[in-house]
Amino acid sequence: MMGYTDELLEHLQNPEALERIYRRALQRGEEKPFREALESLFAQYPQNLLLAAWHYRLAEEVATLPPMAGRLPRHWPWAVVFALLNGLAFWWLSNFSEPAWLARQYISFLVLYWAPIAATCILLFLFLTGSQFPRRLSVLLGALVLVGAYTYFADFLIQQEVFWKQYLVLGSIHLIPMAWASVALYVLKGQADGRSRVAFLAKSLEAVILGGLSGAVLGIFTGVTLALFSTLNLHYMFTEQLLRVLVFGGAGCIPVLAVAAVYEPLRRLREQTFAALFRITTLLLRIFLLPSILILLTYVVLIPFHFMEPFYNRGALIAYNGMLFAVVALLLWTTPVEEGQLSPRVGRWLHRGRLVLAALAEVISLYALAAILFRTWWDGFTPNRITVIGWNLINIALLGILLIRERKGGDEGWVSAAHRTFAQAMPVYAAWSLLLLLALPLVFARSL
């Protein structure tokens, strides 16, 4: 902050210089230090008209931004370019019949690497259309390449077939949070406060919703086209290559276009606008709280009658752990992005419903943890069991902290408590995913 303080002091009588300093701070992702320096100087020199003007300008900036202020004119051309590049990569790797495109002749390279490839295209798109951080971009792209390469080559350290197959499947799953974390680290440059992190999570959900709907539309279009050509006895025109272009090439275009549609690179995360689709989705999720509570309550009531089921039934244990992730996601997406969005009455009932849901999930997750620990004691460690134990412990801790903080926050402060909890959980989720990818081949390297 001292750098901006000294620089602003030198130009207290030069409006053009202050504007230039502000624009440079935006490009560097350093708007927060600029604001802090300016507010500090305004507190010292309240009589300075230029500082006073900047003080009120920054205070009202969110409200005065025009609807399209968050995008450059080249926003959509670059989006189309990188969407096509991503689609081309997906199409190229979708030749599942060729052993060369299968890792260990077991899992497709597309299944393994689709998320890092999409993240690379999204990062390049964000770099060219918003704040430009070349050093951070190169570090993140290099990290994605290194983690992806390690996931493939370190797999050969594992000798036992069942274990390396588990690791490849786990790798395809955990490279997804790695790709998401790389985008988060780029976008959150200079604005990593709790509310900005929650806004990033909300934007992630909005992009996923739009991407899911786009994928459904693509599937319907492909199915109708195939049916039409089959009816006209022209099905021979749909070669495998053309079908791959439609399905995998089209699917590859969706991630970049979804991000381009929902995210405004020139706006700070706390200034992002949310479409009606996002608001409808969050409303439906809040309505879904009640049936979710009833389902979990039924689980808890039935546990004594089927107590040993997950201890010996792997399918039941998978269902319990899937439920845990679903509850954490539901608690996250039912949290308002901004405080004051809900009426006091709605906020009060939403708060109570979340507490009940979190408490029930905590009971069931502890039960599921006991089951996976028993199976591990009974039959030994595997990559899958280590992964599940770690995720259970993280989610149990998250639910416990969320329960304590939201209860202490009361009806007035539970939103900020939830923001703080989920913001702190983001790096933990990314770190555990990275640790699993790096450590599992070393742990099982001598398995026979």
Which pLDDT score is estimated for 104?
81
In the predicted model, is pLDDT for residue 232 greater than 80?
no
Q: How far is CA 238 from the centre of its chain?
A: 36
| Sign of the dihedral defined by the CA atoms of residues 30, 33, 34, 36, in that order | positive
Tell me the per-residue pLDDT of 141-169, one tens digit each, with 9 for 90 and over: 999 999 999 999 988 888 888 898 999 99
Tell me the per-residue pLDDT of 318-364, one tens digit each, with 9 for 90 and over: 777 788 888 889 999 888 887 767 778 888 899 999 999 999 999 98
Residue 64 or 239, more confident: 239
Do residues 164 and 430 lie in contact, with contact meaning Cβ atoms separated by under 8 Å?
Answer: no
Tell me the per-residue pLDDT of 387-433, one tens digit each, with 9 for 90 and over: 999 999 999 999 999 999 999 988 888 988 999 999 999 999 999 99
- Alpha-carbon distances of 176 from 110, 112, 180, 429, rounded to whole Å: 12, 9, 6, 11
Which pLDDT score is estimated for 118?
96
Q: Of 181-185, 240-244, 444-448, which gets the smallest average pLDDT?
A: 444-448
Taking the model in full, what pTM does it have? Answer: 0.81
Q: CA-to-CA distance for 152 and 222, rounded, in angstroms?
A: 33
Do residues 172 and 104 lie in contact, with contact meaning Cβ atoms separated by under 8 Å?
Answer: no
Tell me which residue of 54, 48, 10 sits closest to 34, measured CA to CA: 54
Q: CA-to-CA distance for 308 and 317, rounded, in angstroms?
A: 10
Q: Of 18-32, 126-140, 359-373, 375-389, which gets the smallest average pLDDT?
A: 18-32
Which pLDDT score is estimated for 78?
93
Mean pLDDT of all residues in 297-325: 79
In the predicted model, is pLDDT for residue 446 greater than 70?
no
Q: How far is CA 221 from the centre of its chain?
A: 28
Q: CA-to-CA distance for 382 and 210, rounded, in angstroms?
A: 37
DSSP structural state of residue 160: S
Which pLDDT score is estimated for 448?
44
Q: CA-to-CA distance for 231 and 410, rounded, in angstroms?
A: 62
Mean pLDDT of all residues in 225-230: 75
Which pLDDT score is estimated for 150?
94
Which pLDDT score is estimated for 279?
81
Select the highest-mean-pLDDT range: 21-25, 34-38, 251-255.
251-255
Q: CA-to-CA distance for 201 and 196, rounded, in angstroms?
A: 9
Residue 383 or 102, more confident: 383
Q: CA-to-CA distance for 38 and 76, rounded, in angstroms?
A: 34
For residue 275, which amino acid is it?
A: A
Mean pLDDT score of the chain, rounded to an integer?
85
- In which band, very low, low, confident or very high, does the pLDDT at 309 lie, cut at 50, 70 and 90? confident
Which pLDDT score is estimated for 29?
57
Mean pLDDT of all residues in 111-122: 95
Query: Beta strand 102-103 with 107-108: parallel, antiparallel or unpaired?
Result: antiparallel
Count the Cβ atoms, other than its own, within 10 Å of residue 310.
24
In the predicted model, is pLDDT for residue 384 greater than 70?
yes
Q: CA-to-CA distance for 264 and 68, rounded, in angstroms?
A: 8
In the predicted model, is pLDDT for residue 79 greater than 80?
yes
- In which band, very low, low, confident or very high, does the pLDDT at 226 lie, cut at 50, 70 and 90? confident
Tell me the per-residue pLDDT of 51-75, one tens digit each, with 9 for 90 and over: 888 877 777 654 444 444 566 778 8
- In which band, very low, low, confident or very high, does the pLDDT at 3 lie, cut at 50, 70 and 90? low
3-state secondary structure 354-394: HHHHHHHHHHHHHHHHHHHHHHHHHHCCCHHHHHHHHHHHH
- In which band, very low, low, confident or very high, does the pLDDT at 39 lie, cut at 50, 70 and 90? confident
In the predicted model, is pLDDT for residue 313 greater than 80?
no
Mean pLDDT of all residues in 182-187: 94
Which pLDDT score is estimated for 27?
58
Q: CA-to-CA distance for 71 and 199, rounded, in angstroms?
A: 18
Which pLDDT score is estimated for 64?
44
Which pLDDT score is estimated for 235?
60
